[in-house]
C-alpha cells in the first residue's frame, strides 16, 4: 500500500515506534513558534461548553496541553457542514463559533489572545499566551454574497477552505462523486479575488484537483493547504494533495500543512475514509428515493454505528507523520512544509505519540532523530506558515 518497509515493521511494534521527547526536543518546542493551522475546538465548544482555559478531559486542545507542548498559534477551525449549507444556517453557525472563541479569549486574557496578523505574534504571545486566529473550513457561510468575505475578515477569519465534503457555491469537493463546477464557480473566482484583496489565505485542502488547480492559478499571492497529507502514500485518495498541486503551491510561495489524523497518513484508514464518503453518498441517494416513494427512511445513526463497528480505528505510529514530512521536504523543499494537525476533528484517530497538543515535543524529537537541523525544524513548526501569511498580507496592501 505504498508504505515503506521500515514503517510496516514499526507498525508491528508501536511502543518502540513512537518518538520519545528528549530535553533538547522539549526545549526547541518551547523556543520555536509552533503554528498549527487546523484545530477543531470551536465545534466541540458548540457541542457543549468546556472551559479550554483549564484541563478539559477528552479534548486534544486546551491551554494546559498547548502550553506543555509549546504551541503558540492555534488556528481555530470554523467548520460548517454541507447539511448546514443546505438548511441555510451555515452563516449563523459560523458566527456562533466565532462568538465562542471570542468568549474563550475574554474569559482567559492571561492565557489566550485573538490573532489577526502574523506581525502581532511576538507581542501577543508574551506571557505564555496561546494565540487564536480563525480559519473557516468550508466557504458555505459566505452564502452567495461577496460582501460576506469582508464581513468574516472583520470578524477575524484569516483563511477560508473553499469547500468541504460536498460541492458548494464556490468549488467542488475532493470527497464528492458529483463535480458541479470542474474548477471554481464564477462566484468562486470572485471570492478568490476578494480574499486576495483583503489578505485572507486561500486554502485548497478538501477541494477537488480541478478546483485547487484553478484557485492556485488565479490567486495573485501564495496559497496554502491547511491540512493535507501527500497522495503519494494514498494514491486513490483525492483528499490528500497530489505532487503536481503541491509543487504548484510551492512555486507560488505557499505551504502544505501536514495533518496528523490517521485518515490522512495511514493508507488503510484513508481507503476507509474515502469509502465512507462514497457510502454516505449512496445512503443519501437511497433515502431521497425512499422519500419520493413515500416510504420510511433509513436511519443515519444506525448507518454510522454499523460503519464504525465494521471499520475500527487503525493503530498508526508517529513515523507515518514523519514520513509525510520527509516526503514533502524532498518534493517541494524545507521552506514549504508545515503542520495542520486536525486535533479535535478526527474522533481521536491519531498516531501513537501525537494524541494531543502536549505531544509536539515528540514530533520535534522524531525530526531531530532523522537529522533535521533545529533551524529547519523551526521552519516546519511555524516559520514557513508565518512567512507565507505575511506575504499574503503584504499582497493585500498592494
Per residue in 28-47, pLDDT (tens digit) is 999 999 999 999 999 888 88
Q: In the prediction, which pLDDT does 229 show?
A: 98
* 291 & 259 share domain: no
Position with higher pLDDT, 146 vs 44? 146
Q: In the prediction, which pLDDT does 279 show?
A: 83
**Span 294-303, mean pLDDT?**
88
Q: In the prediction, which pLDDT does 93 show?
A: 97
* 293 & 385 share domain: no
- Domain containing 79 equals 5-266+316-397
- Tell me: pLDDT of 239 over 60: yes
* 137 & 13 share domain: yes
Contact between 199 and 393 under an 8 Å Cβ cutoff? The reply is yes
* 290 & 384 share domain: no
* 362 & 393 share domain: yes
Angle (CA) 207 116 51, round 5°: 85
Report the alpha-carbon distance of residue 94 to residue 42 in Å, rounded. Answer: 9
- Tell me: pLDDT of 242 over 80: yes
Report the alpha-carbon distance of residue 313 to residue 386 in Å, rounded. Answer: 33
Question: 257, 284, 313 — which closes off a domain?
Answer: 313
Question: 258, 284, 313 — which closes off a domain?
Answer: 313
DSSP letters for 333-391:
-GGGEEE---BTSSTT---TT-SSGGGHHHHHHHHHHTT--HHHHHIIIIIHHHHHHHH
Report the alpha-carbon distance of residue 137 to residue 49 in Å, rounded. Answer: 20
* 243 & 279 share domain: no
DSSP letters for 121-182:
HHHHTTTTPEEE-EEEESSGGGTT-THHHHHHHHTTEEEEES--SS--SSB-BSS-S--SSS
| Inter-helix orientation angle 243-251/209-218, to 10° | 10
* 25 & 101 share domain: yes
Q: Which helix (H) or strand (E) holds 39?
A: strand 34-39
Report the alpha-carbon distance of residue 264 to residue 124 in Å, rounded. Answer: 32
* 294 & 353 share domain: no
* 178 & 300 share domain: no
- Tell me: pLDDT of 18 over 60: no
* Per-residue CA distances from 265 to 14, 88, 328, 377 (Å): 15, 34, 13, 20
Angle (CA) 146 151 155, round 5°: 150
Q: Give the pLDDT band of residue 161 (cuts 50, 70, 90).
A: very high
If one counts the domains in the chain, the total is 2
Residues 6 or more apart whose CB falls under 8 angstroms from that of 397 comprise: 199
- Tell me: pLDDT of 15 over 80: no
Q: In the prediction, which pLDDT does 128 show?
A: 96
* 119 & 134 share domain: yes
- Tell me: pLDDT of 99 over 60: yes
Q: In the prediction, which pLDDT does 16 show?
A: 41
* 174 & 308 share domain: no
* 330 & 299 share domain: no
Place of cell 484537483: 209
* CATH number of the domain where residue 168 is located: 3.20.20.140
Contact between 19 and 323 under an 8 Å Cβ cutoff? The reply is no
Q: Which helix (H) or strand (E) holds 282?
A: helix 267-292
Q: In the prediction, which pLDDT does 9 show?
A: 38
Amino acid at each position: 500500500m505504498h508504505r515503506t518497509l521500515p514503517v510496516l515493521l514499526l507498525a508491528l511494534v508501536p511502543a518502540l515506534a513512537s518518538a520519545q521527547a528528549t530535553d533538547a526536543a522539549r526545549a526547541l518546542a518551547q523556543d520555536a513558534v509552533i503554528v498549527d493551522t487546523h484545530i477543531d475546538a470551536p465545534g466541540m465548544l458548540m457541542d457543549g461548553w468546556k472551559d479550554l482555559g483549564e484541563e478539559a478531559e477528552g479534548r486534544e486542545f486546551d491551554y494546559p496541553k498547548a502550553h506543555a507542548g509549546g504551541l503558540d498559534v492555534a488556528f481555530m477551525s470554523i467548520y460548517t457542514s454541507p447539511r448546514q449549507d443546505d438548511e441555510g444556517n451555515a452563516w449563523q453557525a459560523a458566527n456562533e463559533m466565532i462568538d465562542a472563541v471570542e468568549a474563550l479569549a475574554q474569559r482567559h486574557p492571561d492565557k489566550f489572545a485573538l490573532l489577526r496578523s502574523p506581525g502581532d505574534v511576538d507581542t501577543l504571545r508574551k506571557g505564555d499566551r496561546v494565540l487564536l486566529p480563525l480559519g473557516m473550513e468550508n466557504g458555505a457561510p459566505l452564502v452567495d454574497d461577496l460582501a460576506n468575505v469582508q464581513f468574516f475578515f472583520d470578524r477575524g477569519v484569516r483563511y477560508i477552505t473553499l469547500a468541504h465534503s460536498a460541492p458548494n457555491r464556490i468549488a467542488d469537493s475532493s470527497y464528492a462523486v458529483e463535480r458541479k463546477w470542474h474548477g471554481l464557480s464564477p462566484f468562486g473566482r470572485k471570492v478568490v479575488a476578494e480574499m486576495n484583496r483583503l489578505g485572507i489565505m486561500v486554502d485548497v485542502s478538501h477541494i477537488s484537483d480541478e478546483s485547487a488547480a484553478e484557485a492556485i492559478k488565479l490567486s495573485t499571492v501564495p496559497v496554502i493547504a491547511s491540512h493535507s497529507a501527500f497522495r503519494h502514500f494514498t494514491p486513490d485518495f483525492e483528499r490528500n494533495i497530489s505532487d503536481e498541486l503541491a509543487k504548484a503551491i510551492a512555486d507560488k510561495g505557499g505551504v502544505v500543512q501536514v495533518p496528523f489524523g490517521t485518515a490522512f497518513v495511514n493508507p488503510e484508514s484513508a481507503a476507509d475514509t474515502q469509502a465512507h464518503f462514497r457510502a454516505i453518498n449512496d445512503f443519501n441517494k437511497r433515502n431521497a428515493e425512499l422519500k419520493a416513494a413515500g416510504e420510511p427512511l433509513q436511519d443515519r445513526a444506525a448507518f454510522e454505528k454499523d460503519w464504525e463497528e465494521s471499520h475500527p480505528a487503525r493503530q498508526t505510529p508517529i513515523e507515518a507523520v514523519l514520513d509525510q514530512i520527509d516526503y514533502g521536504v524532498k518534493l517541494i523543499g524545507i521552506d514549504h512544509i508545515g503542520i495542520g494537525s486536525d486535533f479535535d476533528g478526527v474522533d481521536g484517530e491519531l498516531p501513537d505519540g501525537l494524541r494531543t497538543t502536549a505531544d509536539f515535543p515528540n514530533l520535534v524529537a522524531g525530526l531531530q532523530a532523522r537529522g533535521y537541523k533545529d533551524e529547519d525544524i523551526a521552519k516546519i513548526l511555524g516559520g514557513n506558515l508565518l512567512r507565507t501569511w505575511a506575504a499574503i498580507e503584504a499582497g493585500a496592501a498592494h
